[in-house]
Amino acid sequence: MKNYTMKDFNQQFPTEDTCLDFLVKARWPKGVFCAKCQKVTKHYRITGRKVYSCEFCGSHVSPTAGTIFHKSDTPLRSWFHAIFLMASTRTGISAKQLQRELGVTYKTAWRMFKEIRKLMAEGIAPMIGQVEVDDTYVGGKHSGKRGRGAEGKTIAVGVVERGGSATAKVIPDVKGNTLLPVIMEHAPETEGTTIYTDELTSYSTLDKAGYDHEAVNHGAKQYVSGAAHVNTVEALWSTIKRGIDGVNHSVSPLYLQSYLDSYFYRYNHRKDEMPLFLSLLERIPILASEVAAQPS
């Protein structure tokens, strides 16, 4: 991945106007379609506003409408700067750090932090080949039982294609009927695909569903058996937990899914040539279109 520095950011987006112009071109690469004129027309910026006007009928369009910037009084360049900061490290930064870096209130920083994470929630292609599945428990330190069955923690299951993409979903429990739909969604049962798990009995539903399934028995200190292991997904969980502990310190169960989305987005784009910051900017119009297409 090409390195994209703060110097690059300042050169590409030195002013508020350059950020707005970028957004216009990203949303309407073939020109702005005027709903009133029913054709693509030239639109001119209205001074002092984030609005463009059609040269013929004078109707207005706002490049920020429907995006994560919608109805935000925060300068667009501050938003772009926040995206740059959140894309600059493997574990991201906290809302508190955004507050310090941008000089905004914590309420504003938290909103930006939450909205930018929406850009990282993307669909992935079905996984094939060697696929690892492992559940984990995320949360603060609690006394009592550790591991599965620990109280006060949130459960998530991760699905990782070796050498490929990965995803995770927060789940209410580790019952077979809960785990199987998640696995079927991201790694459909196909010829040539093998699912690797640990010895949790819930994963036996994979065999009943017709999957080629192999497991290792961690309870018996078996961590690798031929091609069977879950080391890839466990290493990813370890990185995520260290990131949460070191950067965010704790995560509410309500927001854990969006945090996981951000970590897995970084993982899935680790081999991209395009800097992560620029790939997130490309997601802005895509997300706006997805939101607009949702039934009201």
Domains and CATH numbers, the chain: 130-268 (3.30.420.10)
Angle at 137 between CA 131 and CA 139, to 5 degrees: 140
Could you read off the pLDDT of 115-152 as tens digits, one per residue? Answer: 999 999 999 999 999 999 999 999 755 555 555 555 67
Query: Does residue 295 have a pLDDT over 80?
Result: no
Alpha carbons 89 and 97: distance in angstroms, whole number: 13
Beta bridge partners of 167: 159
Alpha carbons 161 and 229: distance in angstroms, whole number: 12
Q: What is the pLDDT of residue 248?
A: 67
Alpha carbons 36 and 245: distance in angstroms, whole number: 52
Report the 3 state secondary structure along 105-174. Answer: CHHHHHHHHHHHHHCCCCCCCCCCCEEEEEEEEECCCCCCCCCCCCCCCEEEEEEEECCCCEEEEEECCC
Q: What is the pLDDT of residue 6?
A: 95
Q: What is the pLDDT of residue 91?
A: 78
Alpha carbons 166 and 233: distance in angstroms, whole number: 8
Please answer whether residues 84 and 252 qualify as being in contact, where contact means their C-beta atoms are separated by less than 8 angstroms.
no
**Closest to 155 in 3D by CA, of 138, 143, 177, 141:** 138
With pLDDT > 70 as the criterion, what percentage of the chain qualifies?
A: 94
pTM to 2 decimals? 0.88
When pLDDT is averaged across residues 242-266 and rounded to a whole number, the result is 87
How many other CB atoms sit within 10 Å of the CB of residue 264?
23
Strand-pair category, 212-215 with 194-197:
parallel
With pLDDT > 90 as the criterion, what percentage of the chain qualifies?
A: 82
Could you read off the pLDDT of 59-112 as tens digits, one per residue? Answer: 999 999 999 999 999 999 999 999 999 998 877 888 999 999 999 999 999 999
Please answer whether residues 13 and 5 qualify as being in contact, where contact means their C-beta atoms are separated by less than 8 angstroms.
no
When pLDDT is averaged across residues 227-244 and rounded to a whole number, the result is 94
Considering the chain, what is the average pLDDT of its residues? 92
Q: What is the pLDDT of residue 139?
A: 77
When pLDDT is averaged across residues 163-169 and rounded to a whole number, the result is 97
